[in-house]
């Protein structure tokens, strides 16, 4: 079976991401790419100005931040993609639920299936938020609710997962409909319309602030100095050698609690049957991988560190929506290479169409957050959220 052609947009995205993501990667580029980078620099300057004006209007009160009378924990970052927000969101939700809070996760549901923008603009009906999970059962699939909301709902029984572009509306719905007293704003650092009680910011140790440029010339959503707003900072993908990153962080934020963590593989699960295998199964196995995430290298390297031999890696753009032909191509390629299995990520697995039989096994790697340093800071943050009354104004 032939591989379906990757769209021009995805090919362009792949090329640009490689150039803008890492410091120095834009050097010695061919003339055409230098022209593109010049155009992106101009757009970045405009974007930086728009961000500055937006925060200025919020700080003046011209644009309003809405309080909801309960704890609102924002988990986000200043860079685009790849820092590991979902596992950190999951960890906070799980610990707060254990502490007796009624938790709802509010998500935009990035790249989910929804009506075209012009239909949404013209509609006179205000639709209620989408309930991916009411804490008792999962109500929507990944395509309708979004990959990450569905994944969170699957892993967090007892936690409501609500999706809407308008997180103020979603928060009000979670409070009135489900009696939630704690809201976790997934990817919420830039979402200023909802007043935050606590700011949790993630910084990727392997690439803290990219090349220093704003989108689309770099990966910054807002200037790095804005992490001064953070109450808690997670250094993700840590290897324990974080002195330089901490020094950079402290230039902008002297007060925030710092927690170092890594994404720790826990087990393998069959994508369709959900049969579990221990990580020891990987040792000595020959594997292929399929992923559509922001930073696939870390996922692929983790398999090698666990003793696997990875011989072929198929990569798509972040949040790629798979069709059957793409999955079949990867499965057949794996069989042709006489590999033992095709391995994907949990975030990708929720986007896979259903197959009754496959030529080779297909597993996803289940990971969660392991705190390396600052576990007492995390415990303090959870305790603070549980025991401090939110401000109503």
* Predicted pLDDT at 5: 54
Torsion angle of C-alpha atoms 250, 251, 256, 261, degrees rounded to 10: -50
What's the predicted TM-score (pTM) here? 0.91
Residue-level pLDDT at 83: 86
Task: Give the per-residue pLDDT at 123.
Answer: 64
For residue 390, the model assigns a pLDDT of: 60
The pLDDT of residue 393: 47
d(CA 365, CA 239): 20
Please choose, from the candidates 222, 167, 216, 214, the residue with its C-alpha nearest in 3D space to the C-alpha of residue 190. Answer: 222
Compute CA distances 216 → 9, 28, 47, 158, 205, whole Å. 15, 19, 8, 39, 21
Written as six digits, the tokens of 192 are 């200023």
Largest CA distance in the chain: 63
Give the model's pLDDT for residue 191: 97
Give the per-residue pLDDT at 32: 85
pLDDT along the chain (393 residues), means of 10: 56 70 80 89 97 98 97 96 90 97 95 69 78 97 93 97 97 98 97 97 95 93 97 96 97 97 96 96 98 91 98 92 95 98 96 94 96 96 85 52
Q: What is the pLDDT of residue 271?
A: 97
């Amino acid at each position: 079976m032939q591989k379906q052609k990757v769209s021009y947009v995805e090919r362009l995205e792949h090329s640009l991401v490689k150039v803008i993501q890492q410091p120095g990667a834009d050097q010695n580029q061919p003339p055409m790419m230098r022209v593109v980078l010049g155009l992106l620099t101009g757009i970045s300057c405009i974007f930086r100005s728009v961000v500055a004006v937006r925060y200025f209007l919020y700080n003046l009160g011209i644009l309003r931040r809405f309080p909801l009378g309960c704890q609102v924990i924002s988990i986000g970052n200043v860079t685009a993609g790849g820092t590991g927000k979902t596992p950190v969101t999951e960890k906070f939700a799980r610990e707060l639920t254990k502490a007796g809070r009624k938790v709802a996760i509010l998500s935009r549901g990035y790249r989910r299936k929804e009506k075209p923008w012009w239909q949404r603009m013209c509609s006179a009906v205000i639709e209620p938020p989408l309930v991916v999970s009411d804490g008792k059962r999962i109500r929507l699939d990944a395509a309708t609710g979004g990959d990450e909301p569905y994944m969170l709902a699957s892993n967090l029984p007892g936690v409501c997962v609500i999706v809407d572009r308008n997180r103020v509306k979603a928060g009000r719905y979670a409070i009135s409909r489900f009696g939630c007293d704690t809201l976790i704003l997934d990817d919420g650092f830039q979402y200023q319309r909802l007043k935050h009680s606590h700011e949790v910011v993630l910084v990727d140790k392997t690439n803290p602030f990219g090349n220093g440029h704003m989108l689309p010339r770099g990966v910054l959503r807002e200037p790095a100095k804005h992490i001064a707003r953070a109450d808690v900072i997670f250094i993700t993908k840590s290897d324990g050698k974080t002195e330089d990153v901490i020094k950079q962080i402290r230039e902008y934020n002297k007060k925030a609690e710092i927690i170092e963590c890594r994404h720790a593989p826990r087990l393998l699960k069959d994508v369709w049957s959900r049969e579990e295998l221990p990580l020891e199964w990987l040792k000595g196995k020959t594997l292929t991988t399929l992923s559509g995430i922001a930073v696939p290298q870390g996922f692929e390297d983790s398999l090698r560190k666990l003793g696997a031999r990875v011989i072929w890696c198929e990569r798509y753009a972040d949040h790629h929506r798979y069709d059957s032909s793409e999955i079949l191509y990867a499965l057949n390629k794996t069989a042709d290479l006489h590999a033992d299995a095709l391995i994907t990520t949990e975030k990708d697995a929720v986007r896979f169409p259903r197959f009754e039989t496959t030529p080779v096994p297909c597993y996803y790697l289940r990971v969660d957050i392991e705190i390396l340093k600052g576990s007492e800071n995390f415990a303090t943050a959870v305790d603070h959220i549980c025991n401090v009354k939110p401000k109503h104004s």
